[in-house]
Amino acid sequence: MFRQRKKATRIAVSVAALVLVGGAVAVRSIGPAAAAETTLRAAAAKAGLFFGVAASPNRLYSMVSQEFGQLTPENDMKPDRIATSSGGLQNTSGADQLVNFAQTNNMLVRGHTLVWHSQAGALQGASQSTLNTFIGNAINRWGSKIAYWDVVNEALEDNNTGRRRNQWPHTMNRDANGDGDYFDSGDTDVIRDSFIRAKQVVQAGGYNTKLCINDYDVEGLTVAGGTPNRKANALYDIVRNYRQYIDCVGFQSHFNDNPNSIISSDLQANIQRFADLGVEVHITELDIDDDLSNNDIGSGQAENYRKVVRACLNVAKCTGITVWGISDSESWRSSERGLLFTGSNGSYQKKAAYTAVLDELNKGRNVTTSSVPTSGPVTSRPVITSAPVTTSAPVTTSAPVTTSAPVTSAPVTSSNPTGGCSATVAVNAWTGGYVVSVRVTAGNATINGWNVRLTLPSGSTVTNTWSATASGTTGTVQFNNVSYNAQVNAGQTTEFGFQGTGTATGLNPVCTAS
Ligand code: G3I
């Protein structure tokens, strides 16, 4: 009775409503209540995201394709399974089996993973050149059959230090000017160089594959006790600086009672801030500790699952959730009973957590479409304009060979008025498309808003913008600040970017401050 009244009210409220969020007007689109779906796959698809699972070839039961719309090989695409010491491929039969099952059942595949300090097998200690060879071979083997690849996995240190790991392959990193990061053009960065290589291979092959960075303990803006999540901030800096190569971010989401692994109340805000960079966000390896002896991470597993699913549903660019296994007893952390089913070997029983997830998915999205400011530091980093591309020729089997490297032009600077603002652009172009990174610099006074005007060449169209709002897509296009990057202190910078089709030559940005 109560449920029915609630449903009727929801329909009556209207499909869109204006609400005030943190001082900013936001449009919420509220989906009408509809007949509930009975599988996670169908409910998620209706809400506009995928719901997936990690599995091995011995777990490909029919329930997998009924309940899940996406598949991640839990172990079968890791370098220790498939890489040779020279970056070739071997033992791909398990991975092939998983990809074939997904194809047959119209499921997306997430490739996991190309560059990882762990489970490196024969690749352990390899040079960037050999890593690049492996990246080329692996991406080319499955091409567009893989919707998302985890290009770099777990690059950041434990214990909320906010630093890169200090073991291979990150030992190849060099901070040339000693400024504490690896983002400058003289630096060596295995993350950047691996993504550049992956992007080249995807572009040369004409694949639809999106390239992701994946990590754990990066889920909230804060960790236990309200301490800033420095690991999340470090990941954010990486994505922001290398946005032109990175399409998606994976929050692994192995939630447990480790102070850095809890479900914090700012999970949604953190998903939103990455989404505001223009990348897709995925919950990639979800499991939630239900060990009753130490369950201090919330009000019970089903409710905790609800919170995570809702946080994703409330951000339009959170486009997928994957649980890390089917059933508790077959999980890597079976004692914590973190998954949605009990049982084994294809005979599975749904838990309360399953019902909660299904119910939450069936409620659909409740999305704030305008960007709402989130907390968390946004440090200003230089945009790389010409990254070194160290590749050896790919040892491909049957797939296309890389042609040209991305063309990166030198930055173009607009006039630099005192008191106002100036803008520079850096263009990364390939045949038929480009990404432009724009840096806005305040003059000798703080500005509280900015507009950058650019005239695109004929035939050029903007298809995607991040960290700014674009008016128009062709000809002269205006880019205005969004709320969180409106204010730029004297002499400081902020950045935004856009992607387009066609060419991006001769850009002459004109910046106006307000
Ligand atoms: O298949 C062999 C078996 O033949 C052998 O007898 C047995 C002896 O130990 O090992 C079996 O392989 C194990 C494999 O899981 C399959 O069960 C490996 O030892 C074991 O190390 C491996 O653990 C995996 C772990 O990653 C390390 O790669 C887990 O299944 C897998 O769930 C876990 O997944 C990781 C993600 O890749 C990255 N994020 C964290 C996540 C959880 O740790």
Annotated domain spans of the chain = 15-373, 408-513
Residue 163's DSSP bridge partners are none
Residue 74 Cα to ligand 1 midpoint, Å, equals 8
Per-residue pLDDT, 193: 97
Q: Whose CA is nearest to atom 18 of ligand 1?
A: 75
430: Cβ below 6 Å to ligand 1? no
Q: Which of 67, 154, 157, 285 is catalytic?
A: 285
* CATH T-level topology, domain 15-373: TIM Barrel (3.20.20)
Residue holding tokens 């099952």?
101
Cβ distance 71 to 111 under 8 Å?
no
Neighbours of 410 (CB within 10 A): 11
Per-residue pLDDT, 437: 75
CA-to-CA distance for 285 and 211, rounded, in angstroms?
A: 17
Global pTM reads 0.72
SS3 label, residue 133: helix
CA-to-CA distance for 38 and 316, rounded, in angstroms?
A: 23
Cβ distance 99 to 138 under 8 Å?
no
336: Cβ below 6 Å to ligand 1? no
Dihedrals phi, psi of 257, to nearest 5 degrees? -90, 10
Give whole-number Cα distances, 313 to 6, 307, 316, 361, 475, in Å.
Answer: 20, 10, 7, 8, 35
Nearest to 389 by CA among 406, 401, 372, 367: 406
CA-to-CA distance for 103 and 109, rounded, in angstroms?
A: 9
Per-residue pLDDT, 11: 32
The two three-digit tokens of residue 245, written as one number: 């190569």
The answer to whether the Cα torsion of 312, 313, 316, 321 is positive or negative is positive
Q: Counting atoms of ligand 1 from 1, which one is nearest the CA of 80?
A: 28
Residue 95 Cα to ligand 1 midpoint, Å, equals 15
User: Is 495 known to be catalytic?
Assistant: no
Looking at the domain that runs over 408-513, which CATH code has it been given? 2.60.40.290
Q: Whose CA is nearest to atom 30 of ligand 1?
A: 332
- CB burial readout 8-17, b (16+ within 10 A) else e: eeeeeeeeee
What residues in the chain have per-residue pLDDT under 70? 1-34, 291-299, 368-418, 428-431, 435, 466, 484
Per-residue pLDDT, 432: 76
Tell me: the pLDDT tens digits for 362-417?
999 998 654 333 333 333 333 333 333 333 333 333 333 233 333 344 444 444 44
The two three-digit tokens of residue 133, written as one number: 């060879």
CA-to-CA distance for 379 and 239, rounded, in angstroms?
A: 12
Contact partners, residue 180, CB within 8 Å, separation at least 6: none
Residue 75 Cα to ligand 1 midpoint, Å, equals 6
Q: Whose CA is nearest to atom 26 of ligand 1?
A: 75
**Would the CATH topology of 15-373 be identical to that of 408-513?**
no
- Which of 75, 82, 113, 336 is the pocket-test mutation for ligand 1 (most atoms within 8 Å of CB)? 75
252: Cβ below 6 Å to ligand 1? yes
Dihedrals phi, psi of 493, to nearest 5 degrees? -130, 160
Q: Counting atoms of ligand 1 from 1, which one is nearest the CA of 324?
A: 32
